[in-house]
Structure 1
Amino acid sequence: MSQYEPQKTEPEIYRLWEKSGFFNPDKLPKRHKKSFTVIMPPPNANGPLHLGHAIFVTLQDIMIRYKRIKGFKALWLPGADHAGFETQVVFEKKLEKEGRSRFQIPREQLYQEIMEFTLANKKVMESQLKRLGASCDWTREKFTLDENVIKIVYQTFEKLKNDGLLYRGKRIINWCVKHQTSLSDVELKYEERKSPLYYVKYDVPELHSFITVATTRPETIPADVAIAVNPIDKRYENFIGKYAVNPLNNEKILIISDKTVDKDFGTGALKITPDHDKADEEIFGKHPEINKESKPVINFFGKMEGEKIPAELVGLKVFEARQKAMEILKNNNRLNVEFAPAGIDENYINNAALCYKCGSQIEPLNLANQWFVKMTEKPKGGKFSLRDLAVRAVKSGKIKFIPKRFEKIFFHWMANIKDWNISRQIAWGIKIPDEGTADVFDTWFSSGQWPFAALMSAKKDDFQKFYPTDVMETGSDILLFWVARMIMLGLYATGKVPFETVYLHGLVRDINRQKMSKSKGNVISPLEMSEKYGTDAVRMSLVVGNTPGSDPVVSEDKIRGYRNFANKIWNAARFVMMNLPENLKDIDAFAKKSRKNNALKTEDKKNLKELAMMAKKMTKDMDNFKFYSAAEQLYHYFWHVFADKIIESSKPRLNGSDTKDKSAAQYVLLEILKKTLILLHPFMPFITENIWQTIPNKQKNLLMIEKWPE
């Protein structure tokens, strides 16, 4: 054994594992009987892997390697996600650099170009996953655009339609003007912004009076169909049932009462604009007495249009139209100065909804038919809605969250869930099977079926053997995007939970606890770090100190520290191997002989007992998903107990003349080394396998299928 050089040896070790076939559970030895399954959250095939990917690779690989060594038929099924909107955004940036725009490219050509781009990235991504030590079964790898996966997605769509849980219609959607597509509620981010609040007067001729409405969006006044007040608001008792005059187009609009109106906000009177506000849309749907057709005044390009708007607003962008509408209202004395100077509260703060990719303000629009999934209605002949299926599964304990605190977030979202818009107006994705649209599915609709779709489309009988899966390990940031949808769709399509445990990790942060981003210049590439310090060092830096659900802190110094630990392991192993009997060919026979000689000292027995106790405690931590604790114990034990104390105290005995005592010392060192290598293997697979292959062993088994120390 010479100096440890991970850059040279890690690729060789991975090839050794692949050649063995043991990533495939069907090829494991006979003792591996009970299945343990993890479906890899398919990384987006649109760029290189980052530290967020490295965390899931590390944590899931730890689970799989641990269960494999414990004798489970461990399947880690890899995949790649076409990632619809996300990938198209990345590709659009590429087009911009080339001086092209997606709007200039025919749809089919654009799809083909993105496919080529994605497949090239997918190939690179696979090699990067291998570089990080992912022991997944590549013979079962799936892609979300595989034909047999798409077939299953279509079957679910058809089932939803037949069960009355799908409808196509016009409803308010979250529209990104820049990317020209709708987004779901969880794809929005919110930012507090100053947004002037305008106090607008609407004449009420029957009462020879007026009613004042507070709004941040005067440009949408031409689309108003009513004004709503709270029935318990005494100020407006005489106004209910009367007609007000729209100050921007002179149309009559009914004043109605609705208990959802907040009488303490603004003036307590709310303008109802159902084509440009979700809450207004709901109120409009409850009041047939309004008896007025709603018409939008903003188009898909974020510009004003329609017969109801003043000529001065036509063709203006939303923010320009807002200023112009304010001028018209001001010139016509329609701003109420009793509520604010000049009738405008310039300091009002509201939560602006933004596109999570480009940050542009979302436009709530009701312009085109979209496909929606009913989340709270029961299917035909069924007992439970999609929401109820998921909530019951978590409340009953059939699915448990680690950490448990995320259940509260899950239940809160489910309690307020709205119907899910699954239409996307982009080229890249699975086309919705509807002749009336060129739209594709929201990528979360197809990936929400991933656990059962991946197994049903992999190998014959895989679904029967490996479903439900055991663990879904993923980032806490996509709990609502993805995990919640997998639970709903999995239960609906198969009648079984898609997984029994949800393990959530946090967002990687730098040494100053800042989010890593290219703009900040604090991004650490896991692949560059692997080349520099070895993959095992990167993996350990992502586990130690990383409690479930928390945001782990990673720095190059931390990675370098675990490179030093790898060197410590290497040097300790080298010392043990150099001090074994000459020409030793079978460690098992040597161990048997040493035990028979019964020359172990009290200190030897104490050391072996301490190892057994540590292994027992560590096993308990592993079974309870406390990987951070198990890794810390191992680190402390190997460095400070085994290397610093046991090895050091053995040196006089190894150099002494008492052959039985020397043999006992050799036996204890070898026994501890063997067992700690097995215990370390899930965390640091490359160096442990490398050392294992140098140990004299008749069987010449791979460490990855050795037995766990009980």
Structure 2
Amino acid sequence: MKNKELSPKYDSNLVEKNKYENWIKNGYFKADINSLKPPFSIILPPPNVTGKLHLGHAWDGSLQDAIIRFKKLNGFDTLYLPGMDHAGIATQTKVESKLKEQDLTRHDLGRDKFLKEVWKWKNEYAQTIRQQWAKMGLALDYSLENFTFNPEINKLVNSVFVSMFEKGLIYKDKKIINWDPKQKTALSNIEVIYKEVEGKMFYFKYVIEGTNDFLEVATTRPETMFADQCLVVNPNDQRYLKFVGKKVINPVNNNLIPVITDDYVEIDFGTGVMKCTPAHDPNDFEIGKRHNLAQPICMNEDGTINELGGANYNGLDRFAARKKIIINTKKMNTFIKEEAIKHQVGFSERTDTIVEPYLSNQWFVKMKTLAQEVLNLQNSNQQINFFPERFNKVLEKWMTDAYDWTISRQLWWGHQIPAYYNKKTKQMIVSLTPPVDLENWEQDTDVLDTWFSSALWPFATLKWEATKFSEYFERYYPTNVLVTGYDIIFFWVARMIFQGLVFTGKKPFKDVLIHGLVRDEQGQKMSKSLGNGIDPMDLINQYGVDSLRFFLLTNSTPGQDIKYSEEKIRSSWNFMNKLWNASRYLLMNIGDNFEPQIISNETLLNKESDVDRWILNEFNKLNIQVSELINKYEFAIAGKLIYDFVWTKYCSWYIEFAKVNLASTNLSIVNSTKQTLFYVLKQILIILHPFTPFITEEIYCKMNLKNSIMLEQWCQEKFNFETEYINYVVDLISAIREFRNSNNIKNVSSLNFTVTNLNDKNFEIFKKNFEIINEFLKSFVNSEISFENLNTKDVSSISINGYFLEILNSQFINKEELFKELQAKKIELEQEIKRSEKMLNNSNFVEKASSEKIALEKDKYKSYKEHLLAIEQKLQNL
């Protein structure tokens, strides 16, 4: 059959066109639930439907897809399951911002109409995300695609919620939580990002009732003083015991509040007196419970001061109120001072608003039991394997210190909590089905934290239901590996583990591959605020997805960040181009009637071309190493080995050796070389396919083999030929080429080298293959070797892996020309030495010049003298 030709130039846009659609059309990505092959599954971490995918998504997807394609080639029935996350706060924020452009709020629309707008947003961005998955070449089984807010998932989420409530793992309570005043919703502890900021500590006088005495109190949040219930001192603090039981005047509202004692207050911290505001601080809340204090809230949900602020402050933003408090207390002489400080302040992960500790009635997951389940698993022989292993310690730390998880959110977009309240009696029921007399009940308006539904993802996506296990669940759960970033180990990984254990009795995945962040070329985290983000689609349009994937994968070390480098992406493109040109050469030179034959140890055992055996040996070593490395998720090392083999051993050496063989009159050698060229290229394409799926498919399909490289199998043949001496030939040719270049010796000049310092093993290899080694040297570098003793010191030496090549200088050095060059250099140096001596002996220079300049001149003088001495020695030798 006539071979198809590759175009003269590699064009990634043409190469990558239509291939993805063809793979889907032929069902190459679909899992086969009835397959006899062993199953292997990965669940795609669902991206938020809030916008386009970024470079981090491209990295994450490249890793997962490389694993899936590798396993498929190794005979597994693979499932790579796609899906997206409804991303409650993030998506609602985006849609509300869009409405704001039309001078509308969600309240103007009402809940139902607003949710329709969010679904429109979701459908628009879901389509964009699918297009980007296709661009990246992700081998996803779209027949099982899911969404964290699909009706089926909603049923499961409700079922899980009710089950956890009935088991006592979910409860509702009034506690201090993290509150986002911009989005007006509760946040869990891990959704708060702490930043060190410059702030102020403010000091106020709380005057003792009926006296001129006062207690000095410091706070960073004066706006909460409207809800102060008391001042607190340590019961052992002798300074303040006389004030205990008395009342002080709150400087912001003149309310009388008592002075009490509690061991929480540290005598030697600050003034030793603290104000207690139970509804606005978690520690104050605990003191309030111990002393039965009231819990008034002085702030509205949007961060403005409520009626407790009185006419002067009611309706003011919390920070505007803070400024006004300082002004007014200065007038009243109750302000003492302010100090600049640096302190940790919590910000909302989604809106970047300063979080407010806030007393609120919320739903919580009781973490103690669930965290212990995770710890028990990780201390058993069934533990989940982390790559790298150190992240298991991170998980264990999170679980050891886990707080109860706030799961209710004051949003409209999300899974509405299946709790109902009687309009008259206020009785609460938690149920999968609404009460029969629904008109007398109202459903809880809160929705669940997005991570609650995401935590069910590994089994929710596999058609798992509360009452039965599906065939997909039975075959593909636990999933084999989760690939994710280290920044969501607790957000998502830990929660999937304990939800999986509780509701399936099994861990959700066997391995967790942790990767880092993609940073810019200066090492900074990519972000919108810094404007240093890179759109992966722009890179794909310029360099092709194969080049981007190869860059991401060959720089991917488990647990480590990647530093973005366009230079490295260009280098990846150059590698694609090198592979393209090598493949084009092969297809043009094997002949139209070429028919590939089976290659094995036996079929090549008696062939005459050792270079064919050598490249098969080298590929065998690569194949074993790459398989082991990918199974340990060491893509960076595996990719670099493949790169070196393809670029250096196959393209730079074997093809050059093959050109000599193809010109041979011995047809057996010609055929052997053609078969080996073809076979090794095919194996290169297979081993590269997980890294670069498009170019490998394009070249493979020009080789008249199967309909797609995705139908191929990873090489199982083992080669072990005695061709070690070829590596010596490669080393010799490389060393002699470098020697010629550095000494400007033209290739037409024949050189004779002596091999010295050989150990027994090396001597045997040279002796056994002496004639053929010299044939290669004559062909490639117009040189030859011998074991002759040169008996002179007038030689040059080249060190090569424990032995030396020596050559008489007279072979390549023209003594008369060299003598003239050295004599001229000697005169030049003598002049420089005289100039330097004159300068250093000049008192004006020594007195006026800087010490650095004097030192520099002395260094030059020393260097000139040493150089002159060396030249005089060379002249003497000549």
TM-score (norm 2): 0.74
Distance 1:600 1:279 in 2: 84
Q: 1:13 matched to which residue of 2?
A: 19
Question: Deviations 1:521-570 (Å, cap 9, x if unpaired)?
Answer: 43322122222221111101111222122221223332222111111111
Distance 1:272 1:519 in 2: 37
Residues 316 and 302 of structure 1, relative CA distance in 2, 3 Å threshold: same
Question: Is residue 2:357 matched to residue 1:364?
Answer: yes
Aligned length: 683
Please show how residues 387-406 of structure 1 align to structure 2 within 5 Å: 387-396=371-380, 398-406=383-391
Question: Is residue 2:419 matched to residue 1:419?
Answer: no
Q: 2:657 aligns with which of 645, 649, 652?
A: 649
Distance 1:27 1:244 in 2: 74
Give unmatched runs, 5+ long, in structure 1.
Answer: 336-342, 377-384
Q: 2:301 matched to which residue of 1?
A: 300
Residues 256 and 592 of structure 1, relative CA distance in 2, 3 Å threshold: closer
Distance 1:235 1:404 in 2: 53
CA contact (8 A) 2:417 2:445 kept: yes
Look up the equivalent residue of 2:370 and give its one-letter code.
L
Please show how residues 569-580 of structure 1 align to structure 2 within 5 Å: 569-580=579-590
Question: Deviations 1:635-668 (Å, cap 9, x if unpaired)?
Answer: 1111111111111111011122110111121122
Q: 1:340 matched to which residue of 2?
A: none
**Matched position secondary structure for 1:348:** strand
Deviation at 1:194, TM superposition (A): 2.6
CA contact (8 A) 2:417 2:447 kept: yes
Distance 1:593 1:422 in 2: 62
Q: 2:702 aligns with which of 690, 694, 697?
A: 694
Question: Deviations 1:76-125 (Å, cap 9, x if unpaired)?
Answer: 11101111111112222322334433342211111001101101211221
Q: 2:776 matched to which residue of 1?
A: none
Q: 2:795 matched to which residue of 1?
A: none
Residues 232 and 256 of structure 1, relative CA distance in 2, 3 Å threshold: closer
Distance 1:43 1:157 in 2: 23
Distance 1:136 1:456 in 2: 17
Question: Deviations 1:273-296 (Å, cap 9, x if unpaired)?
Answer: 1211122223323x1xx2332100
Question: Deviations 1:318-358 (Å, cap 9, x if unpaired)?
Answer: 112222333444344434xxxxxxx3232122212112233
Distance 1:207 1:219 in 2: 26
Q: Which has the larger radius of gyration?
A: 2
Deviation at 1:39, TM superposition (A): 0.6
Deviation at 1:208, TM superposition (A): 9.1
Distance 2:350 2:390 in 1: 28
CA contact (8 A) 1:508 1:515 kept: yes
Distance 1:618 1:36 in 2: 19
Residues 273 and 61 of structure 1, relative CA distance in 2, 3 Å threshold: same
Question: Is residue 2:258 matched to residue 1:253?
Answer: yes
**Matched position secondary structure for 2:194:** strand
Deviation at 1:231, TM superposition (A): 5.1
Q: 1:706 aligns with which of 705, 712, 723?
A: 712
Q: 2:325 matched to which residue of 1?
A: 325
CA contact (8 A) 2:245 2:258 kept: no
Q: 2:849 matched to which residue of 1?
A: none
Distance 2:605 2:358 in 1: 84
Distance 2:210 2:384 in 1: 60
CA contact (8 A) 1:206 1:243 kept: no
**Matched position secondary structure for 1:201:** strand
Deviation at 1:241, TM superposition (A): 6.0
Residues 363 and 150 of structure 1, relative CA distance in 2, 3 Å threshold: same
Q: 1:374 aligns with which of 366, 380, 388?
A: 366
Q: 1:481 matched to which residue of 2?
A: 491
Q: 2:632 aligns with which of 617, 624, 639?
A: 624
Q: 1:534 aligns with which of 522, 533, 544?
A: 544
Deviation at 1:256, TM superposition (A): 2.4
**Matched position secondary structure for 1:690:** helix
Please show how residues 150-549 of structure 1 align to structure 2 within 5 Å: 150-203=154-207, 210-230=214-234, 233=237, 235-236=239-240, 244-247=248-251, 248-259=253-264, 261-285=265-289, 287=290, 290-307=291-308, 309-335=309-335, 343-367=336-360, 369-376=361-368, 385-396=369-380, 398-435=383-420, 436-457=443-464, 460-549=470-559
Residues 206 and 454 of structure 1, relative CA distance in 2, 3 Å threshold: farther
Residues 294 and 581 of structure 1, relative CA distance in 2, 3 Å threshold: same
Distance 1:494 1:533 in 2: 45
Distance 1:664 1:433 in 2: 72
Residues 178 and 573 of structure 1, relative CA distance in 2, 3 Å threshold: same
Look up the equivalent residue of 2:364 and give its one-letter code.
F
Question: Is residue 2:563 matched to residue 1:553?
Answer: yes
Question: Is residue 2:646 matched to residue 1:638?
Answer: yes
Q: 2:682 matched to which residue of 1?
A: 674
Q: 1:568 aligns with which of 578, 583, 600?
A: 578
Distance 2:645 2:236 in 1: 70
**Matched position secondary structure for 1:347:** strand
Look up the equivalent residue of 1:410 and give its one-letter code.
L
**Matched position secondary structure for 2:232:** strand
Distance 1:680 1:210 in 2: 77
Distance 1:594 1:530 in 2: 44
CA contact (8 A) 2:497 2:507 kept: yes
Distance 1:135 1:257 in 2: 62
CA contact (8 A) 1:149 1:457 kept: no
CA contact (8 A) 1:222 1:249 kept: no
Q: 1:338 matched to which residue of 2?
A: none
**Matched position secondary structure for 1:352:** strand
Q: Percent identity?
A: 39
CA contact (8 A) 1:297 1:304 kept: yes
Distance 2:529 2:285 in 1: 39
CA contact (8 A) 1:58 1:539 kept: yes
Distance 1:597 1:196 in 2: 82
Look up the equivalent residue of 2:314 and give its one-letter code.
V
Look up the equivalent residue of 1:392 and give its one-letter code.
N
Give unmatched runs, 5+ long, in structure 2.
Answer: 1-5, 421-442, 717-878
**Matched position secondary structure for 2:340:** coil
Distance 1:594 1:388 in 2: 58
Q: 1:665 aligns with which of 653, 673, 682?
A: 673
Q: 2:693 aligns with which of 685, 699, 708?
A: 685
Distance 2:186 2:384 in 1: 31
Look up the equivalent residue of 1:322 and give its one-letter code.
R
Deviation at 1:593, TM superposition (A): 12
RMSD: 2.5
Residues 82 and 610 of structure 1, relative CA distance in 2, 3 Å threshold: same
**Matched position secondary structure for 1:303:** coil
> After the TM superposition, which of the residue ranges 204-213 and 638-647 deviates more from structure 2?
204-213
CA contact (8 A) 2:184 2:410 kept: yes
TM-score (norm 1): 0.91
**Matched position secondary structure for 1:64:** helix
Distance 2:483 2:692 in 1: 19
Please show how residues 87-166 of structure 1 align to structure 2 within 5 Å: 87-166=91-170
CA contact (8 A) 2:49 2:86 kept: yes
CA contact (8 A) 1:244 1:253 kept: yes
> After the TM superposition, which of the residue ranges 455-464 and 314-323 deviates more from structure 2?
455-464
CA contact (8 A) 1:21 1:27 kept: no
> After the TM superposition, which of the residue ranges 433-442 and 56-65 deviates more from structure 2?
433-442
**Matched position secondary structure for 1:547:** coil
Distance 1:565 1:596 in 2: 30
Distance 1:518 1:203 in 2: 49
**Matched position secondary structure for 1:172:** strand
CA contact (8 A) 2:247 2:256 kept: no
Look up the equivalent residue of 2:256 and give its one-letter code.
E
> After the TM superposition, which of the residue ranges 152-161 and 407-416 deviates more from structure 2?
407-416
> After the TM superposition, which of the residue ranges 627-636 and 514-523 deviates more from structure 2?
514-523
The higher-RCO structure (CA 8 Å, 6+ apart) is 1
Distance 2:478 2:187 in 1: 30
Look up the equivalent residue of 1:363 and give its one-letter code.
E
